[in-house]
């Protein structure tokens, strides 16, 4: 029967425990104020706001154990001429590595983001949309029978209502797009697995609008 060295077993156990203990859970809070505005943050929501909490596990980095559990091999004897060659290579290294640092890329686009419309629904909820035509909704209505009582025979009726919309002013477009992207990110992160991919794609599209327009340059944002 083969026996494992005690030192190797202890080392492997310690590494496994360290990997499990290194995983961290981060709490994300989704906050909704009375006006319907959404924010995502890493601390509890202020008093008076509706709160949703979600725990996300961040993977820990696997520790690197140099040399493993094997015995170190003895150092090889170096030729007598090796130190001189190493010194010559070190003397020429600074000249070869003196490359200028890469410049920081900053967006210089002056193009405005696409137009947006701010709409108010029948329940006074507010939202931003790119659609010029206001959305319509069919609100259920209570039906009655001939005697004036509630209808129980399967009849139904609804009232068609239209949201009230107005174009967002040009000087407020960037801020409106940022709020829309934050809401899309919140919807994505708090969605289930079946809808996560589609909602993430929608959020990334909004981020590209911000990054490829004048909204990416704070100095050019009105």
d(CA 39, CA 46): 11
| Packing angle, helices 193-211 and 173-189, rounded to 10 | 160
Task: Render pLDDT for 34-56 as a digit per residue (tens, 0 to 9).
Answer: 887 788 888 899 988 889 888 87
For 157-163, what is the mean pLDDT? Answer: 89
The percent of the chain in helix, strand and coil, each rounded to the nearest 5, is 35, 20, 45
Element at 177 (helix H, strand E): helix 173-189
DSSP 97: H
The pLDDT score that the predictor gives to residue 205 is 95
DSSP class of 76: P
Q: Which two tokens stand for residue 184?
A: 């899309």
Q: Mean pLDDT in the chain?
A: 74
Mean pLDDT of 76-102: 48
User: Is the per-residue pLDDT at 207 higher than 90?
Assistant: yes
Contact 28, 57 (CB under 8 A): no
Of 133, 135, 114, nearest to 125 by C-alpha is 135
Of 1-15, 33-47, 55-69, 165-179, least confident by mean pLDDT is 1-15
């Amino acid at each position: 029967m083969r026996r494992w060295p005690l030192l190797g077993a202890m080392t492997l156990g310690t590494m496994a425990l360290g990997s499990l203990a290194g995983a961290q859970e981060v709490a994300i809070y989704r906050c909704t104020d009375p006006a319907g505005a959404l924010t995502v943050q890493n601390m509890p929501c202020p008093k008076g706001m509706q709160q949703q909490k979600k725990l996300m596990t961040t993977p820990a980095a696997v520790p690197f154990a140099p040399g493993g559990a094997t015995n170190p091999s003895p150092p090889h004897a170096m030729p007598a001429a090796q130190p001189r060659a190493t010194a010559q290579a070190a003397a020429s290294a600074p000249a070869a590595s003196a490359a200028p640092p890469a410049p920081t890329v900053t967006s210089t686009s002056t193009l405005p983001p696409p137009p947006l419309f701010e709409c108010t629904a029948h329940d006074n909820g507010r939202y931003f949309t790119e659609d010029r035509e206001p959305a319509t909704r069919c609100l259920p209505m209570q039906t009655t029978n001939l005697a004036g009582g509630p209808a129980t025979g399967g009849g139904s009726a609804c009232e068609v209502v239209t949201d009230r919309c107005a174009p967002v002013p040009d000087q407020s477009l960037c801020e409106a797009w940022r709020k829309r992207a934050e809401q899309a990110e919140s919807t994505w992160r708090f969605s289930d697995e079946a809808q996560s991919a589609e909602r993430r794609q929608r959020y990334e599209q909004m981020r590209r609008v911000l990054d490829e327009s004048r909204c990416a340059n704070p100095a050019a944002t009105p």
